[in-house]
Amino acid sequence: MIYKVLYAICAVVFRIWHPVFRIKGRENVPREGNMVICPNHCGMADPIWVLLALKLDGFPRIMAKDQLLRTPVLGAFLRKCNVFGVRRGQHDVAAIKESFRALRSGENLFIFPEGTRVKKGKVVRVKTGAVLFALRTDTPLLPVYVETKRYPFSPMRCVIGEPYRLPPEDKKAPHEVLQKYADELMDRVYKLGENA
């Protein structure tokens, strides 16, 4: 119920700020089974734009930085929206376990592979969590591109790529292989923005 109410409110409010919202590739969103949703990240509102574009039936499990959930009122609200925290820069066992639990129970997992907001010209090392979770649970990755060039009342764009699975034989792959897959994932994401 809360998902439908918030979806309706955000659809109205965010369209005031960006009246033109172009969505491409919604037909690629799996309607059966679950997925690891993997967008690029450049703004605080990215999760909302992505959820508006995907138009799911409910909240996925959303990984967010732990500091957000430590804020009393905001943290309580985010938990109701299926958000769980991760301590960035650390080997957060609790967040890893929660990610696996969500996927193994059939829930969708929403994670920003870059791990932080990335502005134009900034280079970050892509985190391997998304591909690790997808490999170990045989869950498809869904690449999603969110417009990075934005200003008040500018058109917004979200491009949803085709879901794909990683080779099951690489379930126990070393970190170097996971890093290669993580880099390839973000290449797919940004190419969606270039080719749309």
What is d(CA 79, CA 84) in angstroms, rounded to the nearest whole number?
7
Q: What is the pTM of this model?
A: 0.94
> Using CA atoms, how far apart are residues 123 and 19, in angstroms rounded to an integer?
30
**Ordered per-residue pLDDT tens for the chain, 196 residues:** 688 888 888 988 888 889 899 999 999 999 899 999 999 999 889 999 999 999 999 999 999 998 888 888 888 899 999 999 998 877 789 999 999 999 999 999 999 999 888 877 677 899 999 999 999 999 999 999 999 888 888 999 999 999 999 998 888 889 999 999 999 999 999 999 987 6
